[in-house]
Structure 1
Amino acid sequence: MKKQNCWEFKQCGREPGGNKVNELGVCPTCLEKRLDGINHGNNGGRCCWAIEGTLCANQVQGTFLDKYKRCLKCDFFVNVTDEERETGLAGISEIFEKLK
């Protein structure tokens, strides 16, 4: 089964051409090319917890430090963690190194 990016899993509508783009803008995870391939995702689609401006509970979120505790409980984060168990979930230090 294909591993989903956050916008596919959550169906937030903030991907390019999505139904919430006019209201909330394109999600930065879809555009974050420096993270392409991390956790087998497209752009930042499988490490959204490290990216500012993502959507959670229909609200645009702030910085990593502002949202990370909520992300640890997110069904998508848990799903990615489970799916990447064998190959190893990319660590936050690896992700932030790519975002420099």
Structure 2
Amino acid sequence: MQQIKVENHTALTITLDNGGEFAGHMKVHEATGAKVYFAKPYASWRRGTNENTNGRIRRFWPKKFDMARLTEEEIENRILQLNLTLRKILGGLTPLEVFTGKRVALIA
């Protein structure tokens, strides 16, 4: 079984939303070996981190915003900003700190 590996991290499962954009989920499974699951429709309370992240993204780009207008640099800057935001669910760490296992000192 091939697995997704990033430094010391391995993904054994991937949970996707129910949108049509994930119709190719079998290709993801075949390429990674990870089991693919789908979130239960209309059960947002079971996907707290996902819903929280969606809310954070909507602060930058509201619904119906034409994302095709964004440059790669704008997208990458927002991804970095999201990954450097402290999260209560992560014990006050940022996603980047949890992922890398290293603390990041930020100056505001």
Class of the TM-score when normalised by the shorter of the 2 chains: under 0.3
Larger radius of gyration: 2
Higher relative contact order (CA 8 A, sep 6+): 1
Give the alignment's TM-score, normalised by structure 2. 0.24
Q: Identify, as 1 or 2, the structure richer in strand.
A: 2
